[in-house]
Amino acid sequence: MLPFWNFTLVIHGGAGEVMMLNSKVVEVIEFALKTALGLGSQVLQHGGSSLDAVQRSVEALEDCFLFNAGKGSVFNKDGKNEMEATIVDCSGINSGSVACLQRVRNPIKAARCVMDKSPHSMIVGEGAEDFVHGLEPGEPLGPDYFYTDIRHKELMVKLQADVNPQNNHPQTVGAVALDRWRKLAAATSTGGLVGKLKGRVGDTAVVGAGIYGDDKLAITCSGDGDVFLRHTVAQKVAILYNHKGYTLRQACREVISENLKGISAGIIAVDSKGEPPWLAEFHGLRSSDLCLRSPM
């Protein structure tokens, strides 16, 4: 039996534009990340699974308005929130994804429900909401819960200028973990792009694009979701690692160099060997600010 501290948990708060944040806001973001890391770490310290740990950390970030997921999700072109999330049980190579959610507080919890309690891998829109609310009856959330002034201002700038506004907050959230039983898991959640078209689905909801996991490694990504979809980024990292003999560092660097030049992108990954996890960034994410690792 491995000692209880022999686990790894890595989280990220996203890869957005270069962020010009004052020190007070940075402190709040770092506190939110440390809180989310601590909640996930508690699961692992008490012998819990990597799957429960990544879900718990991502839920905590979804509950914080500073991140583009759950409570802090951006608005689409019609002024609505459409959220997506995926969770992957790497040991069983099983996953659950949701997209175009508008009335669910924690999309990552909905994704877990799809994985554990449905025969499907992905459910979207009203179908996903009806499925989740059928399992956990309660009053659906209204749009007021997700409204924040900063997100509304971002939408107005986007619509008026027809350009992407400077992101003053991190984008997307994610977590990867290795528990003491050497089982891996990955989770990710996002509100997508500011001013996106109604019904747009990004890489966060697609295994192989923004997230991937098998019995050897777990990966989550953040950045321009359409580019990640077109290049199946997470899958390419896994292929280099599993079949070409690359280390995690080499695989992430290769994919970023070849497929993600000039875009906002970030990748976090951990493998089953328990080696130090890899945090890769390009244009906008500094791992020391937004990614934290639990003590080994």
- Looking at residue 93, its pLDDT comes to 87
Catalytic residue among 172, 188, 190, 220: 172
172 is catalytic: yes
* 3-state SS track over the chain: CCCCCCCEEEEECCCCCCCCCCHHHHHHHHHHHHHHHHHHHHHHHCCCCHHHHHHHHHHHHHCCCCCECHHHCCCCCCCCCCEEEEEEECCCCEEEEEEEECCCCCHHHHHHHHHHHCCCCEEEHHHHHHHHHHHCCCCCCCHHHHCCHHHHHHHHHHHHHCCCCCCCCCECEEEEEECCCCCEEEEEEECCCCCCCCCCCCHHHCECCCEEECCCEEEEEEECHHHHHHHCHHHHHHHHHHHCCCCHHHHHHHHHHHHCCCCCEEEEEEECCCCCCEEEEECCCCHHHHEEECCC
Give this prediction's pTM: 0.91
- Can you give the pLDDT of all 296 residues of the chain as single tens digits? 334 458 999 999 886 544 445 677 778 888 999 999 999 999 999 999 999 999 999 999 999 998 999 999 999 999 999 999 999 999 888 999 999 999 999 999 999 999 999 999 999 999 999 999 999 877 778 899 999 998 999 899 888 875 555 554 457 899 999 999 999 999 999 999 999 999 999 999 999 999 999 999 999 999 889 999 999 999 999 999 999 999 998 999 899 889 888 777 889 999 998 776 766 654 433 333 334 444 44
- Looking at residue 150, its pLDDT comes to 87
- Looking at residue 208, its pLDDT comes to 97
- Looking at residue 14, its pLDDT comes to 83
- Looking at residue 15, its pLDDT comes to 66
